[in-house]
Amino acid sequence: MNFLEVNDLKTYFFTRWGTVKAVDGVSFSLKEGETLGLVGESGCGKSVTCLSILRLVPQPAGRIVGGQILVQGEDLLKKSEEEMRKIRGAKICMILQDPTTSLNPVLTIGNQLMESIKIHLGLKGQKLRERAVKMLEMLRVPSPEVCLENWPHQLSGGMRQRVVSAIALSCQPLLLIADEPTTSLDATIQIQFLRHLRELQWQTGLTLIFITHDFGIVARMCDKVAVMYAGKIVEMADVRDIFNRPLHPYTEALMKAVPKLEEKVERLVNIEGEPPRPYALPQGCTFTPRCASKKERCQPDQYPPVIETKNGHWVRCWKYV
């Protein structure tokens, strides 16, 4: 059975200027211990997809209007807010891009780390402290006892991200959503951090969703990749297939935009045009206006259907219909 199954998820924002279909019919599934990479330009709906899984879509404009989110067979969209609170933090956790704002500046590390352990595991006193120290040790924080007494501003960025992860992992969640967790870290710290995360995943069987812009991280961390464009997943495949044989023109373009070390380039490749305005998405395939391989076959008023080219590799493009 799949650990996580998202079926036809739709999250819309109802604003004064119109309806924004931030997530429009997204489906994917993950087995326990797998890692999914969510890739796409800013504003394509990656983060909203993840917030929808946590049922934390920004209120009051945003609303999940349809679909299913099954975690171990249970539909999260049918849970009450009270039940969701018990699931968040205990089963599903999240780490965010910027560790400087992820920690409350007026509380000590220990105070914040012990908060969710207290909420979800109900530990107290010495046991609570031991658990907190163990978590910091697990993420290789040097002298964890001292760290517990520190304030967030006394730690470096890499250390803070480890603390944030320790908080996220403290209640042994089954699913961790990492929203560009390494963007604000420098390259060496990035690799260290990713390595620890990978080790933890092997130890605990954690399922991961990785939101990122960085194909290097995708290659290093992920089993599966989903490429999103304007609220829809346009291509999804195993990580090898994506790198070896990208099918969707958008995926191809993204890959080309990554500068390569061995080639000398004058100008970096970019994708022509701009991402479509969310209030006025083009009819039919939303990528058509920027697509390098658009032809007459592309039907102007219909979104391309899902085409599965081989087991587990599917794409939404008229090219393969």
For the bound state, the minimum distance from the C-beta of residue 60 to other proteins, rounded and expressed in Å, comes to 6
With respect to other proteins, which residue has the nearer C-beta, 171 or 307?
171
**3-state SS string for 2-67:** CCEEEEEEEEEEEECCEEEEEEEEEEEEECCCCEEEEECCCCCCHHHHHHHHCCCCCCCCEEEEEE
The three-state secondary structure class of 74 is: strand
Distance in angstroms (rounded) separating the CA atoms of residues 72 and 79: 14
For the bound state, the minimum distance from the C-beta of residue 285 to other proteins, rounded and expressed in Å, comes to 33
The three-state secondary structure class of 211 is: strand
With respect to other proteins, which residue has the nearer C-beta, 85 or 196?
85
With respect to other proteins, which residue has the nearer C-beta, 164 or 218?
164
For the bound state, the minimum distance from the C-beta of residue 317 to other proteins, rounded and expressed in Å, comes to 35
For the bound state, the minimum distance from the C-beta of residue 319 to other proteins, rounded and expressed in Å, comes to 39
Q: Residue 243 is encoded by which pair of tokens? A: 């790198």
With respect to other proteins, which residue has the nearer C-beta, 64 or 237?
64
With respect to other proteins, which residue has the nearer C-beta, 70 or 119?
119
Please name which of 113, 140, 152 lies closest in space to residue 129, comparing C-alpha atoms.
Answer: 113
With respect to other proteins, which residue has the nearer C-beta, 185 or 271?
185
Distance in angstroms (rounded) separating the CA atoms of residues 241 and 314: 10
- Please report where in the chains the tokens 């951090």 appear, as a residue: 193
For the bound state, the minimum distance from the C-beta of residue 276 to other proteins, rounded and expressed in Å, comes to 27
Distance in angstroms (rounded) separating the CA atoms of residues 107 and 112: 7
For the bound state, the minimum distance from the C-beta of residue 228 to other proteins, rounded and expressed in Å, comes to 21
For the bound state, the minimum distance from the C-beta of residue 140 to other proteins, rounded and expressed in Å, comes to 21
With respect to other proteins, which residue has the nearer C-beta, 106 or 265?
106
Please name which of 15, 40, 11 lies closest in space to residue 230, comparing C-alpha atoms.
Answer: 40
Q: How far is CA 238 from the centre of its chain?
A: 16
Catalog residues that contact other proteins under the rule CB under 8 A: 54, 56, 60, 85-90, 92-96, 98, 101-107, 112, 115-116, 119-120, 151, 153-154, 164, 167-168
Evaluated on CA atoms 229, 235, 240, 246, the torsion sign reads negative
